[in-house]
Structure 1
């Protein structure tokens, strides 16, 4: 099923939501209206019990997302993000459903920050990544300053942040912020493969795992191991039908029928 939006395409395929930024004429840079659309789309995804995984990509072959629409800023439109952050995602800290970034070209500024906010990043062989804000009198305020050092280490992150240097998909794979490169060019199939592997797991387990990983990043290990039992998504998993279904399916040598509850 496809839902019409002006700047963003949305397709729902079973449990999977595919979001496509559709502004190729400006390298999928985001205007204020595009931000609002993406916020609404991810609001719907978060609230829909039938949608378990999302993929976000860009239209065309040149760009995933070139960040903010700087022409809009130059015309007095500003660079305001919605409360949930760039593209409605970079400050959405309560989303426990996984999101995959399928980076099909340049991911610059906010576009790279958007990819960093996703749980899995797959990229075309021609994709590139940079946080070039310092070159245009800005700073990576959409989470890049905080997330990139955590992803690749302080010195490597400072090297990118202080120069605006661009890295290839292959370099991103080596540094660890890219999970896999689509060498054959079939990027969306690669993203769907990752989504399929996630969808084969219990959505309750996936949400509990994502929530525990996120919370554990800011707590000592010994504290996180104790506290994880009381995290909301973990408590929901332990009380769910899926918690019973998984072991039962294993014992009966059959494919589990996940219900997400």
Structure 2
């Protein structure tokens, strides 16, 4: 597929998706949403791609959210079935996704980052759900995900005022994993490399079980987790044999993702 508003590159097992509208602070119009949905469809379906990074072009913005100019001109606010940026409602994504946040992550941009599994942020990055300031609400998952990560009162303090939070405060609150001086994308690649050193089958089973467990009572979770798709796939995989064998033989495992 030819993309106009995003760039997709592959580095071995790693897919890097870059929102490429720096002149609009990487705000998403309808076509950009569709392109991102297609890119993450391709990533999810490709057995050779195990981890993804999403970032924004330029230094000023990760993503400024929905393109309000498009909305003001009558373009609407439609998003793909898989959510804002084709990611925020992709609840069956067992592969890990890292947000590499440069500059502002506003509204839907912050919701993209919250939908990812890890957030690496440049020290200059800032985050906000400012929708109430323009007569809207953060309806792409931010209202649910942020309180889970930072607690209700901290989340309300951000969501009801629309205030901006810097990268360091984001790390103190718990939604930023690492604050970076210098090459933020290199730091995200380092996290990806550490994930890629693990069995992709085990990584997916872990992510799926953790996210399902958030809403499941422990007694039921411990009984049902063996039936989760990624867990069942892990238990019958070649990787489940390779891992213990490599440990016993004191060598680096050769993961196949099968």
Check whether TM > 0.5: yes
2:111 counterpart of 1:126:
no
Return the match for 2:199 from 189, 192, 202: 202
Task: For structure 2, list consecutive stretches of 5 or more residues without a partner in the other structure.
Answer: none
After superposition, the CA RMSD in angstroms is 0.7
Displacement after TM superposition at 1:188 (Å):
0.7
Superposed CA deviations along residues 3-40 of structure 1, whole A, max 9, x for unmatched, are: 74100000001000000000000100000000000000
Counterpart position of 1:180: 178
Distance in 2 (CA, whole Å) between partners of 1:16 and 1:149 is 30
Superposed CA deviations along residues 115-167 of structure 1, whole A, max 9, x for unmatched, are: 00000000000000000000000000000111111110111111111000100
Displacement after TM superposition at 1:222 (Å):
2.2
Distance in 2 (CA, whole Å) between partners of 1:55 and 1:4 is 19
Distance in 2 (CA, whole Å) between partners of 1:187 and 1:203 is 24
2:64 counterpart of 1:57:
no
Return the match for 2:244 from 231, 243, 247: 247
Determine helix, strand or coil for the equivalent of 2:105. strand
Asked whether the 8 Å contact 1:100–1:119 carries over to 2, the reply is yes
The count of aligned residue pairs is 258
* 4+ aligned runs moved over 3 Å, structure 1: none
Superposed CA deviations along residues 212-242 of structure 1, whole A, max 9, x for unmatched, are: 0111010112221221111111010000000
Distance in 2 (CA, whole Å) between partners of 1:209 and 1:104 is 28
Determine helix, strand or coil for the equivalent of 2:66. coil
Counterpart position of 1:103: 101
**TM norm structure 1:** 0.98
Asked whether the 8 Å contact 1:4–1:10 carries over to 2, the reply is no
1:157-168 correspondence to structure 2 within 5 Å: 157-168=155-166
Distance in 1 (CA, whole Å) between partners of 2:228 and 2:93 is 14
Task: For structure 1, list consecutive stretches of 5 or more residues without a partner in the other structure.
Answer: none
**TM norm structure 2:** 0.99
Counterpart position of 1:141: 139
